[in-house]
Structure 1
Amino acid sequence: MKTRIFLGALLFLGLLWNIASGQTRTGDEIVGTWTMETGESKIRVYKQNGAFFGKMVWSKDMYEADGKTSRKDINNANVNLRDRFLKDLTILEHFRFDKDEWSDGRIYDIKSGKTYSCTIKLKNPDVMLVRGYIGISLLGKTVSFNRVK
């Protein structure tokens, strides 16, 4: 009988611990460097003033033929932004963490020059799912990124 009470108390404490730790998460789990599942690009996610951002650190299309000079953002719909270099370009902006999702952010697609609404979720600690969409999330595309260790 005492064993059952002891095990029940342990299970209850474990449940309380899981609930408490879930409420104190800061969202920092996505901070780090990630590579697109296709290997096309790498981004570095960081936190600034309570929001999360991501910079392009490498892309197969990032450099000119010399392999050293960063290409410019020539596809941007805004003509005034076409002189920006792709290297270190912020492509994920203003994400807020709530429970198990990073939302209210935007993602910039360097190929099309367009910006989309976006959410981020972790499939597991080493796989990040980034969903860009127009209007509602149902009308979008999810891209998987793997954590660089």
Structure 2
Amino acid sequence: MTRLSLRALGALALFAFALPALAQTTPVGTWRTINDDTGEPQSLVRIYERDGELYGEIAGLLPEGRVCEDCDEEYRGSDMKGVEILRDFERDGDTWKGGRITDPQSGKTYKAKMEVERDGRLKVWGFVGFDSPLTRRTQYWERVQ
């Protein structure tokens, strides 16, 4: 093999290994949410794209079969499957913003942003009014393979 073909083969191999990493920069997929107080897995959220915007629905509570007892009256006693908690996120570079997130435990809806971190976790933060450390609550979700 010539030196040029070896370089081309090496570049192709690097590109092939980089593709899975590049594909993971989108929030589309299923994520495990973590309880802020206990650090335990809480639910699975499926994020999907519709008309160029991202939406997300609860795919299940953890452990499986659990129902939400602490939720707002609308959801109390429900397994929560199919409840849309993320809406209207638009891409802005590596961040998805302009969206809203609903906390099913309180029934309250907040402005929100999200982005995939370098470590592969999804950083999701909701806020009241404008986004600042004083008005923000941040969670890190783990991708489910």
Normalising by structure 1, report the TM-score: 0.66
Find the counterpart in structure 1 of residue 60 from structure 2: 58
In structure 2, the residue matched to 1:32 is 29
Matched, 1:143 2:145: no
Counterpart code for 2:45: I
Structure 2 residue 91 is the aligned partner of structure 1 residue 89:
no
Supply the distance in 1 between the matched residues of 2:75 and 2:122 (Cα, whole angstroms): 30
Query: What one-letter code is carried by the residue in structure 2 that aligns with 1:98?
Result: D
Structure 1 Cα separation of the partners of residues 122 and 97 of structure 2: 13
* Greater helix content: 1
Shift of 1:112: 0.6
Q: Gaps spanning 5+ residues in structure 1: where?
A: 1-24, 77-81
Extract structure 1 runs of 4+ deviating beyond 4 A: 70-74
The structural deviation recorded for 1:55 is 0.5
Conservation of the 8 A alpha-carbon contact between 1:29 and 1:125: no
What secondary structure is seen at the aligned counterpart in 1 of 2:105?
coil
Where in structure 2 are the equivalents of 1:110-129 lying within 5 Å?
110-124=104-118, 126-129=120-123
Give secondary structure in 2 for the equivalent of 1:135. coil
Q: Deviations over 1:29-54 (max 9, x none)?
A: 11100101331111000000111001
Percent sequence identity is: 30
Counting matched residue pairs gives 115
Q: If you compute each CA radius of gyration, which structure gives the higher value, 1 or 2?
A: 1
Q: Deviations over 1:45-75 (max 9, x none)?
A: 00001110011012248x8xxx48x669961
How far residue 124 of structure 1 moved from its aligned partner, in angstroms, is: 2.2
Q: Distance in 1 between matches of 2:137 and 2:70?
A: 22
TM-score w.r.t. length of structure 2: 0.68
Shift of 1:121: 1.3
